[in-house]
Structure 1
Amino acid sequence: MKLSFTKMQGCANDYIYLDCRTSGVPENIAALSQRLSRRHFSIGADGIICICAPVTAGADAMMRIFNADGSEGKMCGNGIRCVAEWLYTHGMAKPKLAIDTLSGLKTVARMGEGLWQVEMGTYT
C-alpha cells in the first residue's frame, strides 16, 4: 500500500495527517491507525487525523481523529491547529478557518507564522 502523509506535532501531540478531501477516509482507518501509530515499529504517532471535505455549509474542512488504539476521537486542540497550518500551506491561506469536528464547528485563527488559536468552547 502506497500512502502519502504528513506528520506534524503541536505541543507534543504528534499525528499522521492524511488528505482525504477527495478520496474519503480509508475503509480500514481503525486498523491503519493502530498499525502506523506503533512507535519504534512504524511511523509512530498518537494516531491519524484525516483532513476531509466539510459537512457544514461555509466550513473549510472537516477533521476526523483516529487514536493509536483505532478508536475515533471527537476533538484535539493541538491537532486542529496542525490541520489549520496544513490547510494554510496547501492553498487555503486565510486568516480564519472553519473546521468541522465531531464536537462541532471550530474557528481557528492565524496568530502569526505557524501559530494558530482555536476556540474550544466551554467545558461542562
Structure 2
Amino acid sequence: MSSAPTEARMMDIVFPDHTNHLGTLFGGQALAWMDKAAFIAASRYARSTVVTARSEQVDFSRPIRQGQLVETIARVVAVGRTSMQVEVELVSEDLLSGERQTCTRGRFVMIALDQGGRPRTVTGARSVA
C-alpha cells in the first residue's frame, strides 16, 4: 500500500503586479502562494476538502525581487485527528545565475472537512517524515 503524498511544489515568477514599491515580492502575495501550496499538500494527503485554520510564525528573512523565480514547497509534517500541520517555504532563484535562497518560511494548520462542512477525521497515512 502506498502512503499518502505529503508534499506539493509550485513555481511562479515575480512580475511587477506582485511587487511592492521597492520592487520586491509583496508579503500578501507570498502568503497567498504559501496558503495555496499548503491547501494542495493537505488536500492530497487527506483526499478531502480542507480549509486553513491558522497560519503560524511566518518569517520573511530575505526579499524576493521582481524577475526572480519562486518555488513554493509545502510539506505535511504532523497529523492530528482532523488537522494537518503544513510547513511551507519560498525559495527564490535567479534565472540567470541559478543562485537559490530560502527567503520565507511558515507553518499552516489545515482542517479536513466532510461534505457538510464539518471537521472530519483525516484518513491519510499517519506517519509523516
In the superposition, the TM-score normalised over structure 2's length comes to: 0.27
Structure having greater relative contact order (Cα 8 Å, sep ≥ 6): 2
Bigger radius of gyration among the two = 2
Name the structure where strand makes up a greater proportion of residues: 2
